[in-house]
Amino acid sequence: MLERPTSRRRWRWWAVGLTFVILAALALARINAQASAAVNYLDGMRRSAEGLVTASSTFSGLDQNVVDLDRIEFETATTAVLEALAEGSEAVDEPPETSSLIGAASLLRLALATWESGVATFREGLLGLADQAESGEEQIYAGLQLVSAGDKIYAEVLKELDREDVPDPITSMPVLSFQSSTRTPVAAARIFASAASADNSLFVLRADLAVSQVSSQPVWVTDPDGDLVIAAVESIVIDVVVANLGNTQAPAQMLFLNMAPAEGEEIAETIEVPPLEAGGETTVSFPGLAVAPGFSYDLSVALQLISPDGNADNDGVAVSFFVNEPTG
């Protein structure tokens, strides 16, 4: 009868001890889960920043070759930068579960938003100035100032991650700077504004139709003396390749052909070239042009000049050819 209380007390202590072990295990599991979540979030922040290394290098170097940079190249580069910033923002869109990372995560989201706003404002201002907008220069400067502010905010992100209560990341965050490495925002803005507003600016929307190739059917060949000759025929087809080398769509234009024999009447014809997108090309043909064997011909094809035209020197081509006499 005296041993029963002792046995019961032992079971109570065993139950208490088991409960303590379970609670300790749960607490440890929670701590480990929080630590794992913090490391995973830090890794997401790192991947977000690493995705911007190329974008920051591209944008910060734009002022180095602004003289040779045309509108298409500029739009392509800045579009890629904006897309990279948008992707980086998505990677850290959700707030962290770990309180020690809230400050760094908030700053990183602010840096990304500031960079994105700055690049968009800068781009809009430069293209606007090229298209004769009066406020373009102010927007260029405002955009570059925002980009510089984004750099400073990101520097604070790195400082925040150096705090003792922040877990060590698997890999350190990269150093990022979207601002020009050689010029202040004021100096860079002046260079970009000057390039955009110059008379020969490559940023200006400008079509550039060009006669890029002229050929014949039957095909003319070059003889040993360097002259073009065609087989003995009584009519030929002249094919003309027209390309738009500019950075905007070219409207429909007229293409003129003149073919003058050494003797006889000159042939003059006109055909419409359809609208061409930037970088596009098309082939137009002048069929059934009468020729006579044994005669030389001076041929010229020329586009109607459009205004503004990127390069008036490529709007036409002139050649001479000879139609062989029949053999046998």
Among the CATH numbers 3.40.50.300, 2.60.40.420, 2.60.40.3670, 2.60.40.10, which is that of 209-323? 2.60.40.10
| Structural tokens at position 83 | 């897309």
Q: What residues are paired with 276 via a beta bridge?
A: 250
Domain ranges of the chain: 3-197, 209-323
**Spatial separation of the C-alpha atoms in residues 230 and 218, rounded to whole Å:** 7
pLDDT tens, residue by residue, 214-257 = 999 999 999 999 999 999 999 999 999 999 988 888 888 999 99
Asked whether the predicted pLDDT for residue 26 surpasses 60, the reply is no
114 by DSSP, 3-state: which?
helix
| Beta carbons of 216 and 317 less than 8 angstroms apart | no
- Assess whether pLDDT exceeds 50 at residue 43: yes
Q: What is the pLDDT of residue 237?
A: 96
The pLDDT value recorded for residue 33 is 39
Please give the residue that has the higher pLDDT: either 187 or 11.
187
Task: Report pTM.
Answer: 0.64
Neighbouring residues of 284: CB distance < 8 A, sequence distance ≥ 6: 239, 240, 242, 255, 271, 273
pLDDT computed for residue 299 by the predictor? 96
pLDDT at 170 over 60: no
24 pLDDT exceeds 50?
no
For 215, the 3-state DSSP assignment is strand
pLDDT at 38 over 60: no
> Is 89 within 8 Å of 116 (Cβ atoms)?
yes
In the DSSP assignment, the letter for residue 286 is: E
- Residue 42 banded pLDDT, cuts 50, 70, 90: confident
pLDDT at position 247 is 81
Name the CA radius of gyration of the chain, rounded. Answer: 36
Mean pLDDT of 83-90: 91
The string of DSSP codes covering 252-281 is: PEEEEEEEEESSSPPEEEEEEEPPB-TT-E
